[in-house]
Structure 1
């Protein structure tokens, strides 16, 4: 499973240990972001407060989606670094806007 990923990092001058550490860090960030988003969504379902729904969406777009995009687009689809950066950054901006709407808007 890690073969192509590790080969890519090693061919670019990194070591296997660095590749594994980066992968584990990204996986941890993804799991934590999904857990926080799920807890926010569960809170929304319990009390039907729209700010919790917007918060769950914002956290998902801010942390979980860019993590997946940065890993899957270049690895699976062979997307360029520019495409990956644009899509991941767009997701992060949308997540921040959703969180700002939660704080300052009237959802």
Structure 2
């Protein structure tokens, strides 16, 4: 059977390269979310249009905050996976609500 060379190194939790790839992917997603939120906030500061502020908050809560929670809570605090999932999901829901308010509300 053919085996991919990336999957030959094993660690306690699984393939090391897979863990590294997941970490790098999360880091890239976090960086992009922060960049988009900052650009949106900069647009708000220039134009003082409140929908841009709510959009920046929504993007941060939807993408950046859950990434931090999923990484820091188990690592630093030792939180359970249920706690981490619930808090990250609440942040995502709050972010989506802020974006919906931007689109359909009167901010």
Give the C-alpha shift of residue 11 in structure 1. Answer: 2.0
User: RMSD across aligned C-alpha pairs, in angstroms?
Assistant: 1.0
Give the C-alpha shift of residue 92 in structure 1. Answer: 0.1
What is residue 85 of structure 2 aligned with on the other side?
Answer: 85
What is residue 45 of structure 2 aligned with on the other side?
Answer: 45
List per-residue Cα deviations over 1:36-63 (Å, max 9, x = no partner): 0000000000000000000000000000
Higher helix content, 1 or 2: 1
Give the 5 Å matches for 1:21-60.
Answer: 21-60=21-60
What 5-or-longer segments of structure 1 have no aligned partner?
1-8
Between the two proteins, the alignment pairs up a number of residues equal to 98
What is residue 62 of structure 1 aligned with on the other side?
Answer: 62
Give the C-alpha shift of residue 76 in structure 1. Answer: 1.1
Matched, 1:71 2:46: no
Query: Larger radius of gyration, structure 1 or 2?
Result: 2
Q: TM-score, normalised by structure 2?
A: 0.89
What 5-or-longer segments of structure 2 have no aligned partner?
1-9
